[in-house]
Chain A
Amino acid sequence: MGYLPSTAPERGRMLRALGLDDPEALFREIPAALRLGRPLALEPALSELELERELTDLARRNLSLDEVVSFLGAGAYDRFVPAIVDEVVRRSEFYTAYTPYQPEVSQGTLTAIYEFQSYVCALTGLDVANASMYDGASALAEAGVLACHATGRDRLVVSRAVDPVFRQVLGTYARGQGIRVSEAPLSGYRTDADATAQLTAGDVAGVIVAQPNFFGAIEDPEPFARRAHEVGALLIAVADPVGLAVLKPPGRFGADVAVGEAQSWGLPPSFGGPFLGYFAARRDLLRRLPGRIAGGTVDREGRVGYVLTFQTREQHIRRERATSNVCTNQALCALAATVYLAALGPGGLRDVAALSAAGARRARSRLAAVRGYEPMTEPFFQEFVTRSPVDPEELGPKLLERGILMGLPLAVHYPEFADRILWAVTERRTERDIDALGRALEEIA
């Protein structure tokens, strides 16, 4: 099977027009010694019917969230997505378009990017946002680089309560640029404010805290912002997109930059990608932003339209002096997010956040009633930690037998929390689901 429309006689005509009789002659500039000279060793072609069978078989060997009641989150969430989101995203005018280099025939993409930026600014309480980043983790890494460039310093302080995967990616980017990263310790499940303040010295470019943090705990971010600003550093907030609807936004607690993973805004978990990083900042950092930015303007007749703007920051103009090498980002995911946000509206977004928070409190209480599942203290948002009297390695399979996908065993990322589990509750979890979890834990104990 293939997707070539040309017929054999047409190919013949084209070759003859070029004065060639053999298609092999098309490649005469490739030295013979470099030619492969054999067919690629790949499986033979499939028809669409066979392809569907093969992919369906592979898909069946995975545990879809449709088959279980999931309490697994930790950076990827089982959320409800209104049908209209995929309807819009599947319009080929959107998904088969390139980066909007010709704005006159790309107003759909550009307007949607502008709207996405508008939503990100409104939700984060910051002034400017870009068109998207690959994911939350790489958005944080770029934010760290921005802080170093903006302050002329080369050290970052990051809370250990920030998603460990984000911190690992930050580390990869930082090593590339000779940026040092200091980790601020935990106090319980929150960032140790005193220790962080001590680490935040005059050579620090940025302080990074999450709201809510990886454990689901709600931090008090203002002291971190004050301390960062005292020494001339930036406060970078990693903010959960659902939390933005009900928690004090980063722009109001003193953050200079906010980033996050916005998979929760209408994207399936898709085994970890494609995801959607958002990136917002104070206005004076505009010219240091990575990636694409759409802006409004007018044509000669005064009609409003949108273009990619402030492009002198970008790699295709500035080359080695660009703010980042990012080119292709996650435009279609940003479109999905924009449709999601538009459809749900402020009421729907608050309901999603409040249902998740209420469900998490209910689940925490239910688990507290099971011997050994001692939970963390409030305040938390939609995730919380409990101890587990059963080794999480053994508990997981037993819960799965009962149709429940366990939360994340924290041993994966925090050796000191080997007996603890991070549970996530989204708006999809019902009272019955939570009760089923409680009963299953009682049985297993």
Chain B
Amino acid sequence: MTSLFASGPTRPGSYVPHAPEDALEGIPAAQRREDLDLPHMAEIEVARHFTALAHANYGIDTGIYPLGSCTMKYNPKVNEALSRLPGLARLHPYTPVERVQGALELMDRLARALREITGMDAISLQPAAGAQGELTGILMIRAYHEARGDAGRDQVIVPDSAHGTNPATAAMAGFQVVTVPSDARGGVDIDALERALSPRVAALMLTNPNTLGIFEDRIAEIAQRVHGVGGLLYYDGANLNAIMGITRPGDMGFDAVHLNLHKTFSTPHGGGGPGAGPVGVKAPLEPFLPTPVLEATADGYRFSWERPRSIGPVRSFFGNFGMLVRAYAYIRALGPEGLREASEQAVLNARYLKHRLADVLDVPYERDAMHEFVLSARSLQRATGVRALDLAKRLLDHGVHPPTVYFPLVVEEALMIEPTETESLQRLDGLAEAIRSVVAEARRDPDAVRRAPERTPVGRLDEVRAVRAPDLGARP
């Protein structure tokens, strides 16, 4: 691909009137900028450039996108259209509160639905993404302990199978991270957890089902033990897509939870955002919610900043509102039966796909998969030298997006596969056949697999060079 900074100048379009000559007279000369060396492009060239970029991208609308832990489900078109209604998109965040009642009602309805789905008592829609939701939740837990005068809780426990955001978040909230290993069944090693528990523990962060796609069936016992030493339980909602209407983090004993609306609730990933990461909490944590807090009063909705124990805002205004609109529309479109059906189908699709692949790749954990599962290319790699990464690259030549590779870290040569509920049987069979044929090819002609991909806009890119000779931006 060539950057637009490399294209020659063409004549730009006219988008706003020309400013008068003296327009900048009020700006002191010492603070003025006279030069602005940026590309000049005619609109047709802008259109062609970004169309070419679009052609070089793979999205859910292109084909199956089975990235484990990412929940790449279909993004309904109607949500795109509705989020652009002028009364939603062209709404200023400082508009007087009595003239934004529709927006606030939408937020309240979404928050209520998320409370019901998670079994939590209160929700903040403010966090911009899952990781920011985590930070919000952990800061609230910290504030909770401090408010009780429970000093000395300086540790957060995370399992070794956790998303990298969990330990990174705990560190950002000022905690020391204690990692506990997984046991042979793929769950938290209860003995190791027991050893890690002490009055220094502020919280345990857990994903359930976990990143191996396995439901932590001893969660009630884990919750009891963590609560027993005065710690709280934080639920990483990345995998909520497996359990909507079936079980709830609130009922499992979790005290705080974040949701990724861009996973479970179908808001588009956008190539890496914007997402939305609402946080739900049980009543004891409610005073610590970020400000402002949405309140329903007799005169309508309003925001309250009068929250003396709040951790404060984690970002400007009220959240990624445009994403909240899409998630609300999704929940309304599906209704209670539809959400449960979505989770059921997500699990069925994962289980079916695992069944179709269990004889060609290693199955590190025999337990029932939920909405995703992890296979390993360890035996294949030992036999042929072909690694999980090579399989992934060869899959690109079959026109399908590969699964997540090398995560979770507890499985060697991991391939983490999450088909989601919006893939048909035909698509699942197509992916299974593609993976089977790449594995067969690896055994027959490993070099061909290691050379892949060959049918993509570029081949494997030299990541070492990208660091050794950094090119992080074009100079006009």
Nearest chain A CB to B403 CB, angstrom units: 10
Is the CB of A329 closer than 8 A to any CB of chain B?
yes
Cβ contacts A to B, 8 pairs, < 8 Å = A13-B425, A55-B85, A95-B80, A244-B33, A270-B88, A319-B168, A325-B132, A332-B274
Chain A binder among B189-197, B329-337, B441-449: B329-337
**B319 and A41 within 8 A (CB):** no
| With contact pairs A2-B342, A58-B105 given, residues A96 and B268 touching in the complex (Cβ less than 8 Å) | yes
Complex Cα distance, B334 from A4, in Å, reads 10
Is the CB of A43 closer than 8 A to any CB of chain B?
yes
Which single member of B56, B167, B243, B345 contacts A4 (CB below 8 Å)?
Answer: B345
**B458 and A299 within 8 A (CB):** yes
Is the CB of B144 closer than 8 A to any CB of chain A?
no
**Digit string of A297-324 for contact with B (CB within 8 Å is 1, else 0)?**
1111101111101100011111111101
| With contact pairs A58-B102, A341-B38 given, residues A165 and B313 touching in the complex (Cβ less than 8 Å) | yes
Contacts of A36 in B (CB 8 A): 245-248, 251
**B93 and A271 within 8 A (CB):** yes
**B315 and A274 within 8 A (CB):** no
Is the CB of A218 closer than 8 A to any CB of chain B?
yes
Contacts of B262 in A (CB 8 A): 328
Which single member of B3, B101, B341, B425 contacts A61 (CB below 8 Å)?
Answer: B101
**A358 and B139 within 8 A (CB):** no
Complex Cα distance, B15 from A64, in Å, reads 22
| With contact pairs A23-B344, A48-B78, A305-B458 given, residues A176 and B139 touching in the complex (Cβ less than 8 Å) | yes
**B16 and A80 within 8 A (CB):** yes
Query: Count of A residues near B, CB < 8 Å?
Result: 199
**A65 and B91 within 8 A (CB):** yes
B residues 159-200 touching A (CB-CB < 8 Å): 163-165, 167-174, 177
Chain A binder among B46-54, B225-233, B378-386: B46-54
Nearest A residue to B91, CB-CB: A271
Main secondary structure of the interface of B (DSSP, over half): loop
Is the CB of B387 closer than 8 A to any CB of chain A?
no
B residues 315-337 touching A (CB-CB < 8 Å): 315-323, 325, 329, 331-337
**B41 and A345 within 8 A (CB):** yes
| With contact pairs A64-B87, A295-B466 given, residues A329 and B272 touching in the complex (Cβ less than 8 Å) | yes
Is the CB of B82 closer than 8 A to any CB of chain A?
yes
Complex Cα distance, B390 from A318, in Å, reads 24
B residues 325-373 touching A (CB-CB < 8 Å): 325, 329, 331-342, 344-345, 347-349, 351-352, 355, 367-368, 370
Contacts of B86 in A (CB 8 A): 59, 64-66
Complex Cα distance, B79 from A82, in Å, reads 22
Nearest B residue to A332, CB-CB: B270
| With contact pairs A61-B102, A218-B31 given, residues A316 and B407 touching in the complex (Cβ less than 8 Å) | yes
Is the CB of A105 closer than 8 A to any CB of chain B?
yes
**A14 and B341 within 8 A (CB):** no
Contacts of B290 in A (CB 8 A): 172
**B458 and A40 within 8 A (CB):** no
Is the CB of A21 closer than 8 A to any CB of chain B?
no
Which single member of A33, A169, A330 contacts B273 (CB below 8 Å)?
Answer: A330
**B92 and A96 within 8 A (CB):** no
Nearest chain A CB to B397 CB, angstrom units: 10
Complex Cα distance, B341 from A40, in Å, reads 12
**B172 and A102 within 8 A (CB):** no
Nearest chain A CB to B108 CB, angstrom units: 11
Is the CB of A193 closer than 8 A to any CB of chain B?
no
Nearest B residue to A263, CB-CB: B316
- Having A45-B332, A51-B333, A95-B270, one finds 19 other A-B pairs with CB under 8 Å, namely A64-B86, A72-B95, A88-B47, A93-B58, A94-B53, A106-B58, A107-B53, A108-B271, A128-B472, A168-B312, A176-B135, A248-B31, A272-B93, A297-B462, A300-B460, A322-B171, A332-B270, A335-B270, A352-B16
Nearest B residue to A268, CB-CB: B89
**Digit string of A198-228 for contact with B (CB within 8 Å is 1, else 0)?**
0000000000000100000010100000000
| With contact pairs A342-B46, A344-B15 given, residues A5 and B24 touching in the complex (Cβ less than 8 Å) | no
A residues 151-178 touching B (CB-CB < 8 Å): 165-166, 168-169, 171-173, 175-178
Nearest A residue to B88, CB-CB: A59
**Digit string of A55-79 for contact with B (CB within 8 Å is 1, else 0)?**
1111111111110001010111010
Nearest B residue to A99, CB-CB: B272
Contacts of A295 in B (CB 8 A): 466-467, 470-472
Nearest chain A CB to B409 CB, angstrom units: 9
Which single member of B36, B117, B315, B333 contacts A40 (CB below 8 Å)?
Answer: B117
Which single member of B57, B338, B396, B423 contacts A2 (CB below 8 Å)?
Answer: B338
Complex Cα distance, B262 from A110, in Å, reads 20
Nearest chain A CB to B67 CB, angstrom units: 6
Nearest chain B CB to A60 CB, angstrom units: 6
Is the CB of A349 closer than 8 A to any CB of chain B?
yes
**B12 and A271 within 8 A (CB):** no
Complex Cα distance, B244 from A114, in Å, reads 38
**A134 and B91 within 8 A (CB):** no
A residues 1-52 touching B (CB-CB < 8 Å): 1-6, 10-11, 13-15, 17-18, 23, 26-31, 33-36, 39-46, 48, 51-52
**B268 and A332 within 8 A (CB):** yes
The 4 closest A-B pairs by CB, nearest first: A272-B317, A45-B335, A59-B87, A61-B102
Nearest chain A CB to B368 CB, angstrom units: 5
Which single member of A27, A301, A342, A408 contacts B49 (CB below 8 Å)?
Answer: A342
Contacts of A211 in B (CB 8 A): 31
Complex Cα distance, B37 from A123, in Å, reads 9
Is the CB of B410 closer than 8 A to any CB of chain A?
no
Is the CB of A231 closer than 8 A to any CB of chain B?
no
**B461 and A104 within 8 A (CB):** yes
**A52 and B78 within 8 A (CB):** yes
**B352 and A95 within 8 A (CB):** no
Which residue, A59, A64, A74, has most C-beta atoms of chain B within 10 A?
Answer: A59
Nearest A residue to B129, CB-CB: A328
Complex Cα distance, B355 from A78, in Å, reads 54
Nearest chain A CB to B241 CB, angstrom units: 13
**B31 and A5 within 8 A (CB):** no
Complex Cα distance, B143 from A172, in Å, reads 11
Complex Cα distance, B67 from A100, in Å, reads 11
| With contact pairs A34-B251, A103-B461 given, residues A269 and B165 touching in the complex (Cβ less than 8 Å) | no
Contacts of A256 in B (CB 8 A): none
**A345 and B425 within 8 A (CB):** no
Which single member of B41, B131, B323, B342 contacts A342 (CB below 8 Å)?
Answer: B41
**A357 and B93 within 8 A (CB):** no
Which single member of A11, A40, A55, A358 contacts B244 (CB below 8 Å)?
Answer: A40
Which single member of A94, A293, A379 contacts B59 (CB below 8 Å)?
Answer: A94
**A82 and B15 within 8 A (CB):** yes
Which single member of A2, A119, A270 contacts B321 (CB below 8 Å)?
Answer: A270
Complex Cα distance, B130 from A134, in Å, reads 11
